[in-house]
């Protein structure tokens, strides 16, 4: 009897939470929106290749999304981190991408086709800095040049802009990746 009461109370709680979410104006972000965003970033993918790891919602019907990073998860899967261009519209989120498949000219999936090298040039750039790795950030302005020891908060390839933090984690900077241990920013 206690188990039944617990199940019923959980069910009512879940229903209340779902209705509260619906009332606050949260809209689901679809796999179609995610696939279009990832494709614009240079990795051609279909909505059927996107796996949502959790329910993803935004405060706007069709928010503008951007890809922050894409990493290898396994031989046939990648993990992408996306966020809304306007950070107030949604929280950053991760999705799984099945890359052991690619799109044929007819628009259908081709099983077992290699992913790397099949996209546009630059789509398979290798990351030279990894999230959590130490690096040196050079901050420059007209009269001041500062070198800081930082920790990378994101993976990055040369030329890409990533977020980094100081050793005390108090400040967050956006920096351009120069090489595996050197980043450049502006004051």
Tens-place pLDDT, residues 91-140: 999 898 887 654 444 443 444 333 433 333 344 457 888 888 899 999 88
- Taking the model in full, what pTM does it have? 0.45
pLDDT at 17 over 50: no
CATH number of 134-186: 3.40.50.970, 2.30.30.760, 3.40.50.1370, 3.30.465.10? 2.30.30.760
- Could you state, in order of their start, the residue ranges of all structural domains in the chain? 24-111, 134-186
Q: How confident is the model at residue 76 (pLDDT cuts 50, 70, 90)?
A: confident
User: Is residue 34 packed enough to be buried (19+ CB in 10 Å), middle (13-18) or exposed (0-12)?
Assistant: buried
CA dihedral 58, 59, 60, 64 (to 10 degrees): -50
170 or 107, which is more confident: 170
Size of the chain in residues: 187
Q: How far is CA 123 from CA 40, 84, 119, 120, 154, in A?
A: 11, 21, 6, 6, 17
Q: Which residues pair with 55 in a beta bridge?
A: none
């Amino acid at each position: 009897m206690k188990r039944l009461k617990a199940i019923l109370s959980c069910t009512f709680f879940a229903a209340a939470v779902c209705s509260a979410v619906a009332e606050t104006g949260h809209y689901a972000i679809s796999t179609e929106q995610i696939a279009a965003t990832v494709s614009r970033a240079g990795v051609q993918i279909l909505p059927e290749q996107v796996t949502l790891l959790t329910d993803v919602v935004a405060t706007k019907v069709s928010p503008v999304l951007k890809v922050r990073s894409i990493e290898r998860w396994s031989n046939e899967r990648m993990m992408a981190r996306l966020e809304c261009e306007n950070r107030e519209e949604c929280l950053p989120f991760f999705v799984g991408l099945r890359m052991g498949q690619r799109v044929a000219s007819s628009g259908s999936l081709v099983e077992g086709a290699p992913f790397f090298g099949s996209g546009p040039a630059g789509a398979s750039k290798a990351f030279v800095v990894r999230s959590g790795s130490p690096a040196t950030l050079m901050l420059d302005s007209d009269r001041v040049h500062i070198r800081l020891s930082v920790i990378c908060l994101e993976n990055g390839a040369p030329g890409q802009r990533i977020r980094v933090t100081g050793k005390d984690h108090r400040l967050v900077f956006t920096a351009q990746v120069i090489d595996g241990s050197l980043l450049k920013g502006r004051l």
